[in-house]
Structure 1
């Protein structure tokens, strides 16, 4: 089931209809020595901390949305005056102003992405083609209400600033009505029930005005009305993610937001029990089923467990959709069986980022097959996510 590529007029002609698989290459930027990342219907980046996963994903957005990004920076009075270094400082954070050196290079598909060239580009308003849900999302909501663009410090990446604005759009659109996450009429009831059972247990999120007039989100559960600081860590992480997905999936008869083609979600598992991770992943699969390209970074083996099982179920002679519903913990209604069947048609790419012991810089590997019997440790250990489980089994087997 090939997915459509971005149709934004901000893109080079070669990007207006993208292939099902697309590559992004980054060379000598930050900790990255040389990385070649493959994107597909569903894309996952794994690897140790500080290996540049966020930088890779932010480059993807900058490459696809630079005219819109320039427009937002201009709107908030940030100047770059055609200088790529200043653009990088505003976009990645001020510490990255001089990170793109003479040996640095970025290429998306067959197009070179050059900061100085982007900085001389024309700013254009309009919908972005990439919606980015950052790992910083709890900090964006640390006051119980999203921070606006100018409330962030200069070292905050653009994607975090922009995300807060999108969440604020969702909350503002709902007015005084209770904010239910995920929102009704935007997600199937079966997926909402799954999230409630795993994360909220009958509670609901509402927006309440505080004494000084500023609103704050509260979790109402029975007689308790809990502020964001009283929520569990997982709830603080997942509520802004779910609000963001509510923005990306408009209600009514429109299943996709015009112009938007990609959803990037960093570490959707943050703070969650494995049951909660699977519930959130089911909702993210719904975005891919509808036609968005879904991109995740993760430190959770649960995410790869689901993708590996989906690959095996795709090859199963019978019952694949029903068994996927059971894996995800959702009722196998007619609607969910159709959902599962479409999910099983999606192609997945898994990319592993790790430090090269010879250079000390980050390199990339394609480990999409996730073959546990592979002689390549990076592939058999799923980028290190099941390394210790495998090691424990080996140690115990010595007594057998």
Structure 2
């Protein structure tokens, strides 16, 4: 049993005793955000969701590259989650899809139907590895023990760069991002630079080009530009250059840590593109360690509950130009959910993000605001002590 047939209606996934996850009962929104410390199971949960939904596609990809898991669940998990992950499950592991149990053993049975279509596109946290030195890498450039989601993402970028950009210019691109989004990406990430394909050397590579036509190789880019570029190309995969809102049969997008390496203003620009995905009908899951991301989610929920208008959304994110109204209107029609993953504890629904909530997991946004509050308390204590001493 897989979830492919019901993916468009999928509302809830419950995972128990799987890797670091004690119990995660997640009801999905249009945008679902996972927060929590490292190694608490956020990525495992999202990768498992991908495996459950796209089992047949994943099997086909492994078979195409002659990777054999011998119908064994341990072997499948080793080549899917990555080396050392074969024992991620146990006899106590349980998975429920919309409250119906799903036997994990069925995932290892070959499902090679040619009629299957990919439903989830996964942008992994390790995406910067997909274009080392500015060069994209196909699936086969990785070891068998490297995580599948990274290998597949890298393969998609390689196909995109080699096949869909014959002009060799990646940014700015008028037929990929709306003007309001291009303005944000240009202003907050690339400045006056263009992102192009350089074919002058022995190997085609992606470089930044100045207005004076000087070409800047990958290693001299800023850290944020190196992190954002594969993310941008991933967004391009989801946003085809045609009147169709989504690529093929894709219905979901998973984006791990979209904030990596970015200034808060650039994070806002990235989230604006995420809202464009929502406007096009994608359901999106994000994992994050950024309080800035939750600032935006909290604000959107507040606007929805208190009669906010599209102008408020546009002002918050700096959306100006064609396409801004559609993105802002859609943002106010969506449902937003947030979950806190912690060590050795069940996952907590913190969707309200209420700063006045009694539960510290909710009021502290899963620990993302806790340090700032702690620093404030220390500073206030020192200030009081200083005043007392001065008196």
TM-score by length of 2: 0.92
The equivalent residue for 1:43 is 32
* CA deviation string 1:332-366 (max 9, x = no partner): x57412321211111001000001xxxxx242100
Q: Distance in 2 between matches of 1:182 and 1:388?
A: 38
The alpha-carbon deviation at position 146 of structure 1 amounts to: 1.8
For the 8 Å contact 2:4–2:54, the answer to whether it is kept is: no
* CA deviation string 1:51-77 (max 9, x = no partner): 111100000001100011000000010
- Which of 69, 74, 84 in structure 2 is aligned with 1:80? 69
For the 8 Å contact 2:178–2:322, the answer to whether it is kept is: no
For the 8 Å contact 2:7–2:53, the answer to whether it is kept is: no
Q: How many residues align?
A: 381
RMSD, aligned CA:
1.9
Q: Distance in 2 between matches of 1:327 and 1:301?
A: 15
The alpha-carbon deviation at position 12 of structure 1 amounts to: 5.7
Structure 2: tracts of 5 or more residues without a match: 385-391
- Which of 9, 14, 25 in structure 2 is aligned with 1:18? 9
The equivalent residue for 1:3 is none
The equivalent residue for 2:255 is 265
- Which of 93, 100, 107 in structure 1 is aligned with 2:96? 107
- Residues 1:228 and 2:211 are matched in the alignment: no
Against the structure 1 CA distance between its residues 117 and 10, is the aligned structure 2 distance closer, same or farther, given a 3 Å change threshold?
A: closer
The equivalent residue for 2:318 is 329
* CA deviation string 1:100-126 (max 9, x = no partner): 221112222234343421111421345
Matches within 5 A, 1:363-374: 363-374=346-357
For the 8 Å contact 2:125–2:256, the answer to whether it is kept is: yes
The equivalent residue for 1:160 is 150
Which moved further from structure 2: 176-185 or 67-76? 176-185
Q: Distance in 2 between matches of 1:311 and 1:28?
A: 32
TM-score by length of 1: 0.90
The equivalent residue for 1:289 is 279
Against the structure 1 CA distance between its residues 178 and 16, is the aligned structure 2 distance closer, same or farther, given a 3 Å change threshold?
A: closer
Q: Distance in 1 between matches of 2:172 and 2:59?
A: 31
Matches within 5 A, 1:1-400: 11=3, 13=5, 15=6, 17-18=8-9, 22-125=11-114, 126-181=116-171, 183-209=173-199, 211-212=201-202, 214-223=203-212, 224-317=214-307, 320-331=309-320, 333=321, 335-355=323-343, 361-398=344-381, 399=383
